[in-house]
A = this chain, B = another copy of it.
Amino acid sequence: MILVNGDSKDVIPADDRGLAYGDGLFETIQIERGRPVLWKRHMQRLQAACEVLGMGRIDSDILLRECLSISLDQERGVVKIIITRGSGGRGYRPDSEWQPRRILSFHAWPDFPETNVSKGIRLFLCSTPVSSNARLAGLKTLCRLEQVLATMEWDESQYSEGLMLDDKGQVIEGTRSNIFLVKDGVLITPVLEASGIKGIMRDVIVELAHEAGITVQERNIDRKELLDADEIFVSNSIIKLWPVREYQEKDYNSRMITGRIMQLLEQHLSDYE
């Protein structure tokens, strides 16, 4: 089911600026027993990003009402919210009278193997780089073509996620996840000042680790550091946390910090529910 500005539809106007220019944002939210998980954090991120793009205030009450309405009676699933700068003519400059368009869709819960959590995943190294752009860094914009191309590089029966570097060879993120490494008990994740998306689950993990007294570093990470790491894991709002068991033919067997984060996360999310 899809709601376009509140109406049940499966089409949008062909002159939408989201299509024409990627002029918009999205959020991907877990639904659990008909309710969105970590809703406030998603709305805070969306609002902050709308401000960066000059798209003004979102009405989170309307979004919540529509999210609940398409998730009604669903035990589990995913709601995707797209906000675009609405319809427009040809030309990058928005019309002075532009009106935002919101597109909410419900999707089945993805059927990831349980072993992604219990045994960990194999992480592929993508050659498609993440774009660098300090103005857009951190935002979940509709411009995701590089993630599409990166995803097409590997066989999904062999790998569960792909790592993306920037043009300088620095570690940025997974195609659909944030990445963390552990070295000598310190949790390290890319700072994402020039590229990448700041995930909701990334924020939660950083906060939980801080609270638990784990030293956290948000900084630039050279790709060589991954091969030197004790543990690696990836995270997002849907998968939560997957340990990496193999990357570049190296096995990562330790779960010292990863296991603790997984426990903290499970506790936090069940508290939340």
Contacts and interface: CB of A to CB of B under 8 A. Distances in A.
Counting chain B CB atoms within 10 Å of each CB, the highest count among A2, A12, A94, A148 belongs to A148
A266 interface: no
How many protomers of this protein does the assembly include?
2
Given A14-B103, A22-B22, A145-B143, A92 B136 contact: no
Interface of A: 2, 4, 9-23, 26, 28, 53-54, 78, 80, 82, 84-85, 89-94, 103, 105, 107, 110, 127-136, 141-152, 156, 167, 175-176, 194
Nearest to A9: B14
Given A19-B19, A92-B144, 20 more contacts: A10-B14, A11-B12, A14-B103, A17-B148, A19-B84, A22-B142, A22-B144, A22-B145, A23-B144, A23-B148, A54-B152, A91-B151, A94-B148, A128-B135, A131-B131, A131-B132, A135-B149, A136-B145, A143-B143, A143-B145
A150 to B, nearest CB: 8
A146 B133 contact: yes
Given A53-B145, A90-B80, A143-B143, A105 B11 contact: no
Contacts of A152: 54, 93-94
Contact of A141 (B12, B136, B145): B145
Nearest to A90: B107
Given A105-B14, A144-B22, A53 B136 contact: no
Contact of A142 (B53, B80, B135, B145): B145
A112 to B, nearest CB: 11
A192 B192 CA distance: 24
A105 to B, nearest CB: 7
Contact of A129 (B84, B103, B135, B150): B135
Contacts of A110: 90-91
A141 B85 CA distance: 18
Contact of A18 (B19, B82, B92, B135): B19
Given A94-B148, A152-B93, A19 B131 contact: no
A16 B194 CA distance: 28
Contacts of A17: 148
A144 B143 CA distance: 7
B149 A167 contact: no
Query: What are the nearest 8 A-B pairs in CB distance?
Result: A143-B143, A131-B131, A22-B22, A11-B11, A21-B144, A131-B133, A92-B151, A19-B19
